[in-house]
Each structure stands twice: as structure tokens, then as C-alpha cells.
């Protein structure tokens, strides 16, 4: 059974595609094959799922780094009682994903997240500038940024500026084409992991106390692929095979 298809073997015909889908292993066999894989991450992909609940103010994200055979290399989860905003959580997730990728030697990963507005914001910030005064994200001011993301509050803008500056500063080599928005179906593993982390943080009291300020602070944890349970492995496996992972570019378009 072939367990290690790669990007160079693009499914150019229906027959090849069918034989590729037919080669899908069971979750446990697939998981066992991970250890044998060369974890070269030059063309790695990062899946990011972020959320923010306005009525409770909590938020969080999960990021999963995968190699070019769609196998997981590392994951990071975060849950915060002070979520700030949805945009804040998405940008924090992107930053965490990029940190995770560079920690594993990948400096230009394809990043797939669940926010079209953030992808648009990053693309626009990379290409637009204005001459207005006041604090700016990149080269555009709050008012001009509002034309991209309407109704962004002052507080929200102020919390986003440093995050976007970190993204721009640390990852100059990344272009807008490195970022794409994907559907929930194509991001199911990161979505599941984010939900589990929230449950874990709340029910198992994993939130840490900041003893100096007496406050509960973010729960953050790194996960290794060998700790992944069946359900998570199954989501990753389905994504690897059923969503034709290998034949999608950074924008989620079919190629080859
Ligand atoms: Zn402006």
C-alpha cells in the first residue's frame, strides 16, 4: 500500500485520482507510517483555526503544521478568557503557526486559515498605502483599514497593529499568496483541536494563574503527533485524501 504520495505525483487523470483515493489507508496504519516519514518541511502547510465568542469574551486557536505528504509534524493550541476580538485571534493563530513552522525549519509555509477578511486585510496592507496621519498598520491608517474591514473599533485596531507589525517584520519573505482562507471542511482537524483545547482548559482547570496579578492567563500547549487521538488522526487523514490536499495551491485552487 502506497502511503507516501507527494506533490510531484499530481493526479492529472481521473484514473490516477481514483487509484490515489483507493490507496487511502486506515487511520492507525497511516499513523504508524508517520515515524518513517522524512519530516522535511520546506513546502509545509500550516492549518489555523481561530474563534472568538463575544458573549463570553473567550477565544482561542489551534495550529497544525504538516509536511508535503500531509502528515502532521507539530501542533499548538491556545485558549484565552480575554479573547479581545475575532481578528485578534486569527492574527494570533497565524503568528503562532508561522512560529511553529520556522521552529521546524520552514520559512515560507502555505498558511490556511478560516478568515477571508484577514487574508484580504494582509493582501491589502501589503499593497496599499495612504498619507493620513495617526497610527498605521503597515502603510495604512485606521480609517483606510476600515474600508477593508468595516466597523473595526479603536480598541480592536490598536490591538491588531502590533500583531500585524510582528507578522510583517518577522516574515518579510512571505507574500500574500502564502495565505489562503479555506472552508471548515478543509480545516476540520484544526477546528476539532481548537474545540478540544477549550474543553480541556475549562474542564480540567488547565488555565494558569498569574501569581503577580492574581489573574487566570492563557492556556497554551504544544502537542506532538504521536499524542493525537483517533478522531484527530481521522480528520487529518480525510483531509489528506478526500480534499485532494496534494493538488491544491495556497489559494485552495486545483492545480496540475
Ligand atoms: Zn489613511
The domains located in the chain, with CATH, are 14-247 (3.30.420.10)
Higher per-residue confidence, 203 vs 59: 59
Q: How far is the CA of 239 from the centre of ligand 1 (A)?
A: 41
Q: How far is the CA of 154 from the centre of ligand 1 (A)?
A: 14
C-alpha distances in Å from residue 251, one per residue of 17, 99, 116, 177: 21, 21, 11, 7
pLDDT given at position 209:
62
Q: How far is the CA of 140 from the centre of ligand 1 (A)?
A: 5
pLDDT over threshold 80, residue 239? yes
Among 38, 198, 171, smallest CA distance to 190 is for 198
HEC string of the chain equals: CCCCCCCCCCCCCHHHHHHHHHCCCCHHHHHHHHCCCCCCCCCCEEEEEEEEECCCCEEEEEEEEECCCCCEEEEEEEEECCCCCHHHHHHHHHHHHHHHHHHCCCCCCEEEECCHHHHHHHHHHHHCCCCCCCCEECCEEHHHHHCCCCCCCHHHHHHHHHHHHHHHHHCCCCCHHHEEECCHHHHHHHHHHHHHHHHHHHHCCCCEEECCCCEEECEEEEECHHHCCHHHHHHHHHHHHHCCHHHECCCCCECC
Distance (Å, whole) CA 127 – CA 183: 25
Integer-rounded Cα radius of gyration of the chain? 19
Neighbours of ion ligand 1 (CB under 5 A): 130, 132, 141, 144
Distance (Å, whole) CA 2 – CA 85: 44
Distance (Å, whole) CA 169 – CA 73: 25
Q: What is the mean pLDDT of residues 52-65?
A: 95
pLDDT over threshold 50, residue 109? yes
Q: What is the mean pLDDT of residues 131-157?
A: 84
Q: How far is the CA of 164 from the centre of ligand 1 (A)?
A: 16
Average pLDDT, whole number, for the chain? 82
Place 59 in a pLDDT band, splitting at 50, 70 and 90: very high
Beta sheet of 45-53, edge-to-edge order: 179-181, 110-113, 45-53, 58-66, 72-80, 219-223
Intra-chain end-to-end CA distance of the chain, in Å: 24
Place 205 in a pLDDT band, splitting at 50, 70 and 90: low
pLDDT given at position 190:
97
Distance (Å, whole) CA 111 – CA 95: 10
Ranges 47-61, 151-165, 166-180: which has the least confidence: 166-180
Among 191, 203, 230, smallest CA distance to 75 is for 191
Q: How far is the CA of 116 from the centre of ligand 1 (A)?
A: 22
pLDDT given at position 148:
82
* pTM of this structure: 0.83
Q: Name the burial class of residue 140, with classes exposed (0-12), middle (13-18) and buried (19+) by CB atoms within 10 angstroms of its CB.
A: buried
Q: How far is the CA of 124 from the centre of ligand 1 (A)?
A: 13
Amino acid at each position: 500500500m502506497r502511503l507516501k504520495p507527494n506533490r510531484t505525483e499530481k493526479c492529472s487523470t481521473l484514473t490516477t485520482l481514483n487509484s490515489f483515493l483507493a490507496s487511502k489507508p486506515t487511520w492507525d496504519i497511516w499513523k504508524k507510517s508517520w515515524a518513517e516519514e522524512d519530516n522535511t518541511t520546506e513546502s509545509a502547510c500550516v492549518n489555523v483555526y481561530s474563534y472568538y465568542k463575544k458573549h463570553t469574551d473567550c477565544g482561542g486557536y489551534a495550529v497544525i503544521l504538516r509536511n508535503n505528504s500531509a502528515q502532521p509534524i507539530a501542533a499548538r493550541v491556545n485558549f484565552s478568557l480575554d479573547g479581545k476580538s475575532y481578528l485578534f485571534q486569527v492574527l494570533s493563530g497565524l503568528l503562532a503557526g508561522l512560529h511553529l513552522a520556522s521552529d521546524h525549519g520552514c520559512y515560507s509555509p502555505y498558511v490556511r486559515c478560516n478568515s477571508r477578511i484577514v487574508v484580504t486585510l494582509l493582501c491589502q496592507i501589503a499593497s496599499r498605502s495612504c498619507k493620513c496621519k495617526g497610527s498605521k498598520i503597515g502603510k495604512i491608517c485606521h480609517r483606510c483599514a476600515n474600508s477593508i474591514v468595516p466597523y473595526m473599533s479603536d480598541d480592536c485596531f490598536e490591538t491588531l497593529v502590533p500583531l500585524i507589525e510582528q507578522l510583517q517584520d518577522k516574515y518579510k519573505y512571505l507574500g500574500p499568496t502564502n495565505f489562503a482562507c479555506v472552508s471548515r471542511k478543509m480545516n476540520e482537524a484544526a477546528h476539532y483541536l481548537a474545540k478540544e483545547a477549550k474543553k480541556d482548559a475549562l474542564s480540567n482547570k488547565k488555565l494558569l494563574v498569574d501569581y503577580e496579578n492574581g489573574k487566570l492567563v492563557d492556556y497554551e500547549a504544544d502537542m506532538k503527533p504521536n499524542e493525537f487521538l483517533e478522531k484527530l488522526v481521522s480528520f487529518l487523514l480525510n483531509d489528506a485524501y478526500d480534499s485532494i490536499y496534494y493538488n491544491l495551491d495556497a489559494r485552495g485552487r486545483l492545480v496540475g
